[in-house]
Amino acid sequence: MRDLEDFLTLVLPFAVAAPEPLIYRCLRDAATDFCQRTKLWRCTDTIITNGADPEPISVPADAVLYEIASCAIDGHPLDPITLPELAKKRPDWRTRHVGCECARWYVAPERGTIQAVPRTGGTLLVEFVSKPAATALTLPDFLLEEYGQTIADGAAGALLIMPNQTFANPQLGAALTQRFQAKLDALSNAGVRGQQAGRTRTRGRYL
């Protein structure tokens, strides 16, 4: 992981007079937008479950879970399902005896949790997308090494269009914001999803 401070040299040329706390906030916001749009911060977690209750998903430090990409139990892929859909298909899913059927779906009963349905014990392999936490002070190495200038463009653009600031430069800020959004569009449209061919690890791997 890299400190937010490591991104400063990429932002300061555009807004040298901006206060650091404000720069950090804009960097965090730009990194969050980047992760939500591109879904490049991919992680996995391996969970041993008895099937009775939802299991918490382990995420990297300074991160929160954005969305679950896939889930398998003992090597068998499960399909996603929402709670309203599950209530229609299996209204007794919360009380039916564990292990009476093979699991077919996965559901997130609470934010940051996962459960196989019908309830089944086994080993869950969960792949998910992370994003920075609201108070994050660090970001994954790859965000700086591969996309540092893109995130700096987003942060600097947001800084420069702020009203009533001595460092404001709306014209440059708009140009940087446009460049930032264009890069996110390109990455999203290309369907880039990181090093998917790499060996799967466990417990909150970040790329």
Q: Are residues 67 and 18 in the same domain?
A: no
What is the rounded CA–CA span in Å between residue 207 and residue 198?
A: 10
> Is the domain of 120 the same as that of 78?
yes
Whether the predicted pLDDT of 205 surpasses 60: no
User: Containing domain of residue 156, as a range?
Assistant: 2-40+140-190
Residue 162 lies in a domain: yes
Q: 126 and 50 in one domain? A: yes
pTM: 0.87
Q: Is residue 203 part of a domain?
A: no
In this structure, the answer to whether residues 54 and 116 fall within a common structural domain is: yes
Mean pLDDT, the chain, whole residue set: 91
Q: Which two tokens stand for residue 158?
A: 């947001």
Shared domain for 87 and 16, answered yes or no, is no
Q: Is position 199 within any domain?
A: no
pLDDT band, residue 207 (cuts 50/70/90): very low
Percent of the chain having pLDDT more than 90? 86
Classify residue 202: in a domain, yes or no: no
Please tell me whether residues 112 and 149 are part of one structural domain.
Answer: no
Confidence of residue 194 (pLDDT cuts 50, 70, 90): very low
Sheet with 42-49, strands from edge to edge, namely 42-49, 122-132, 63-73, 76-80, 105-107, 113-117, 55-56
* pLDDT number for residue 146: 97
Note the pLDDT of residue 100: 81
Asked whether the predicted pLDDT for residue 191 surpasses 80, the reply is: no
C-alpha 10/C-alpha 110 separation (Å) is 38
Residues 32 and 49 reside in one and the same domain = no
State the pLDDT confidence band at 197, using cuts at 50, 70 and 90. Answer: very low
Establish if 154 belongs to a structural domain: yes
